[in-house]
Amino acid sequence: CVFLLQSISNSFYIDNCTGRRCLFELNAERRTRTRTPRTASTRTKERRRPRRTPRDTSSTISRSVNRQERNSVPEIFDGKELTSCQLSNEDAPPLDVFNGDLKCLSDGIDTSDNKEVDQPAFAHFSLDIIHDGLSEKFNSDTVFRKALRDAIRRDVFFSTPAYSNMSEKVSAIMLLPDTSLQGSWRKPIDMENSRMDRVTAVLSEALGSSAPTGDELMHKIGALCGSRPSTHWIDIHGVQDRTVSHSWHLDTGYSPDGSKTVLWGFPPEDNYSGCGVFSHVVSMQYQCHAPESHSRMEPIIFAGLIDEKYIVRPLYAPGGELLMYRDIDVLHSSPDVAYRASVMRFM
């Protein structure tokens, strides 16, 4: 007789020959297993089993919290302290930027017949060339400097057509002292009335009846740029809460008829002398000209590191509030450590 098993559960099967339901032998074996009864002696042993002493984690937690506190405390950035350790290095040798590790990222820069730079790459000037006594007042009076900077920004802002349709909220944000603002230093040709009235009021109050008007101040500084300026102006606040890497570039790569860039430094405190106000520069051995197809206001970007011996961190000091250079003679970058109210650039 052939036994065909048809499972109906984990414990039973049907014998197709007899039709009887049978238990699996495995289950029968399981039924015969007996559990060792717990006796008084085993219960005593279980009761006597020593309990594990709780681990004292207080010291571990304390160390972990201390590490987290140390990691969460931000390092204090002190621009004044950092710049006090920097050297201006204004006698640095010129650099041949096209025969080294530096790479020009802008297209069309031809260096085959560039002329050697045959003049000092940069120079300092006093505000006294604009108005006698302006340098001393500018460096000794924080209130005057702040009022003058704010007045220049507001007069440029409210006379620039591109800003005319901005909301009051956006305008207020753009005029905050820790923002950068740009426009033109030149009075629009079609403007009949004076443009820099707020500046005129600040100068008159500080310098008396002999003070220049606001329009005269801006025009005299702009005139230092030469006979063919772009007239572009920008007030740069920049990064002032951390150290940044240098980003070397030329603003335009143009210097028509020897036109120059003029930086006007606004120091962070009265009678300040030190680095961190002006842009950093590198004197080039050979002039760098942009091709005619290059946009006048498009920078020429360089990538790579420059040895510290070539980097100049121009010194700001009373009597040296203005820094002047030709854009084709120097690479420049935002300072790695900025310590200033701002720097205004005239081109």
Provide the pLDDT for residue 5. 41
Radius of gyration for the alpha carbons in the chain, expressed in angstroms and rounded: 39
Provide the pLDDT for residue 4. 41
Residue 192: both structure tokens together: 């009949």
Collect all residues with Cβ–Cβ distance below 8 Å to 106 and sequence separation of at least 6.
253, 290, 294, 298, 299, 300, 301
What is d(CA 85, CA 82) in angstroms, rounded to the nearest whole number? 6
Provide the pLDDT for residue 136. 98
Assess contact for 229 and 170: CB atoms under 8 A: no
- Helix or strand or coil: residue 203? helix
Listed as ranges, residues in the chain with pLDDT below 50 are 1-14, 16-17, 23-34, 44-46, 61, 65
Provide the pLDDT for residue 56. 53
Provide the pLDDT for residue 25. 46
Strands (E), 12-160: 12-15, 21-23, 103-104, 122-125
